């Protein structure tokens, strides 16, 4: 990845098509320890994108599974005591084995149990943290949002994202919003990409953000650079959402169409110039 491109440069679209093609060809095994609300939708999103999901989140199994998984998602949406223990078990194995993992700090900052848990999990060095702006801020000590809703814009979370990169060894932070912002550290300093895709229906389907975390984990399994994986996962998800919204009559049919589009989206469709406008931005 060229980290020396000037602001405004487009994200290399062939990297997007390669990521999607690799997903479909390699069928990576993605372990998800995620919330009870979205576990079905998340598994279906991974299947549609080409990955093999496994929702193994039991103490005594989650660590063993992390040893064979190609990537892991830990999402804090409904963290029962059993799941909290299983998350630490899986994250510790990931750190030991170098398996890349994504932390999704749902509603962190505004709720105590998960906020403590998220900070404990940070020590196991997730490759990517994905959340809305209030969650990223909450993870770094800020106040958090209104439940799962953000009360901040992606740009407001830049300082918190930098803290995650510099103090906690996170390699990429994906901040969801109307325009997603992906921030990462490189040898040449920080890099940030705008992903100006998606559709408001994604905010009207529960798990619209949670499943994106899983898709980013799937991309991490096939692409070594966490920043590229986060961009590729975000573009794949948001562009599929645009295609789905064009065929939907509301949030119910949108969720169905989104799975169909994830399944049928051709790698070439992401590679064509103009179809994806994902530009590096100045920090």
* Residue 67, annotated as binding a ligand: no
Q: Which is nearer to a copy of itself, 29 or 230 (CB)?
A: 29
Q: Which is nearer to a copy of itself, 79 or 105 (CB)?
A: 79
Q: Contact residues for a copy of itself (CB under 8 A)? A: 29, 31, 35-41, 43-44, 47-48, 52-61, 64-65, 68-69, 77-82, 107, 110-114, 146-149, 203-207, 248-253, 255-264
Q: Which is nearer to a copy of itself, 80 or 123 (CB)?
A: 80
* Residue 176, annotated as binding a ligand: yes
CA 76 to CA 118: how far, in whole Å?
8
Instruction: Write down the least CB distance from residue 29 to a copy of itself, Å.
Output: 6
* Residue 87, annotated as binding a ligand: no
Instruction: Write down the least CB distance from residue 110 to a copy of itself, Å.
Output: 8
Instruction: Write down the least CB distance from residue 224 to a copy of itself, Å.
Output: 22
* Residue 55, annotated as binding a ligand: yes
- Binding-site annotation: residue ranges for substrate: 55, 207
């Amino acid at each position: 990845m060229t980290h020396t491109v000037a602001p405004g440069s487009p994200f290399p679209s062939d990297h997007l098509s390669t990521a999607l093609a690799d997903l479909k060809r390699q069928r990576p095994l993605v372990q998800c320890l995620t919330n009870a609300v979205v576990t079905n939708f998340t598994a279906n999103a991974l299947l549609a994108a080409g990955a093999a999901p496994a929702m193994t989140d039991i103490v005594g199994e989650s660590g063993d599974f992390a040893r064979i998984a190609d990537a892991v998602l830990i999402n804090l949406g409904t963290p029962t005591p059993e799941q909290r223990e299983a998350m630490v078990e899986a994250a510790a194995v990931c750190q030991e084995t170098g398996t890349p993992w994504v932390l999704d700090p749902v509603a962190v900052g505004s709720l105590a149990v998960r906020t403590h848990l998220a900070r404990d999990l940070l020590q196991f060095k997730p490759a990517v943290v994905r959340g809305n702006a209030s969650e990223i801020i909450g993870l770094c000590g800020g106040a958090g949002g209104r439940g799962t809703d953000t009360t901040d814009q992606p740009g407001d979370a830049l300082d918190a994202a930098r803290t995650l990169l510099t103090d906690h060894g996170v390699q990429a932070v994906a901040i969801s919003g109307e325009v997603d912002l992906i921030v990462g550290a490189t040898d040449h300093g920080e890099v940030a990409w705008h992903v100006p895709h998606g559709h408001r229906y994604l905010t009207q389907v529960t798990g619209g953000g949670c499943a994106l975390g899983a898709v980013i984990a799937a991309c991490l399994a096939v692409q070594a650079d966490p920043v590229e994986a986060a961009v590729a996962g975000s573009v794949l998800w948001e562009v599929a959402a645009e295609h789905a919204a064009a065929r939907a009559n509301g949030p119910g049919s949108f969720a169905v169409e989104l799975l169909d589009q994830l399944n049928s989206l051709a790698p070439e469709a992401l590679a064509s110039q103009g179809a994806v406008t994902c530009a590096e931005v100045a920090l």
